[in-house]
């Protein structure tokens, strides 16, 4: 793929990071060596980017007790303004609800809505399942059904 073709994709897609996980001290499994994006983590594969998001969302739900769309989105993208309100509205309208239950179905729907909002990435059931299998057992076991 040449440079012009690459520009056509959203940043999260180019980085294999469809939820735009911000870079920092964490060394994620599957991170690309030689990060060139100053703001967001770059992953070797989309599966590993989705996996990292699952790990983070599990921590939010299990450890921080963030169980509603506004709580999760505010923690994920704390803008406090119109952009955050639009994000919350998009996710709520996609899920047709605000509470996130401890089920894989709810996690999938949440992630599909967030991936689309963040980078116009359409998260499939197959990609979700592939990423879930690469997660630690504590994450796999947390999300029931």
Cβ proximity of 118 and 12 under 8 Å: yes
Counted domains in the chain: 1
pTM, two decimals, is 0.92
Separation in Å, CA 65 to CA 59, 60, 77, 113: 8, 6, 17, 20
Expressed as residue numbers, the domain containing 49 is: 3-142
Interhelix angle 104-119/125-134, nearest 10 degrees: 110
Give 118: exposed, middle or buried? Use CB within 10 Å, 0-12, 13-18, 19+.
Answer: buried
Q: What is the pLDDT of residues 117-140, one digit of tens each?
A: 999 999 999 999 999 999 999 999
Q: What is the pLDDT of residues 79-123, one digit of tens each?
A: 888 999 999 999 999 999 999 999 999 999 999 999 999 999 999
Cβ proximity of 30 and 48 under 8 Å: yes
């Amino acid at each position: 793929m040449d440079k012009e073709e690459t520009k056509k994709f959203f940043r999260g897609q180019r980085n294999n990071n469809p939820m735009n996980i911000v870079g920092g001290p964490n060394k994620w499994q599957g991170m690309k060596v030689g990060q060139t994006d100053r703001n967001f983590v770059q992953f070797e594969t989309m599966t590993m980017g989705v996996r990292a998001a699952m790990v983070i969302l599990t921590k939010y739900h299990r450890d921080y007790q963030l169980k509603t769309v506004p709580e999760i989105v505010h923690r994920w993208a704390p803008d406090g303004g119109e952009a955050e309100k639009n994000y919350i509205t998009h996710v709520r309208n996609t899920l047709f609800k605000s509470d996130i239950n401890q089920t894989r179905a709810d996690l999938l729907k949440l992630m599909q809505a967030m991936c689309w909002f963040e980078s116009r990435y359409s998260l499939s059931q197959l990609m979700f399942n592939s990423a879930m299998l690469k997660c630690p057992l504590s994450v796999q076991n947390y999300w029931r059904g």
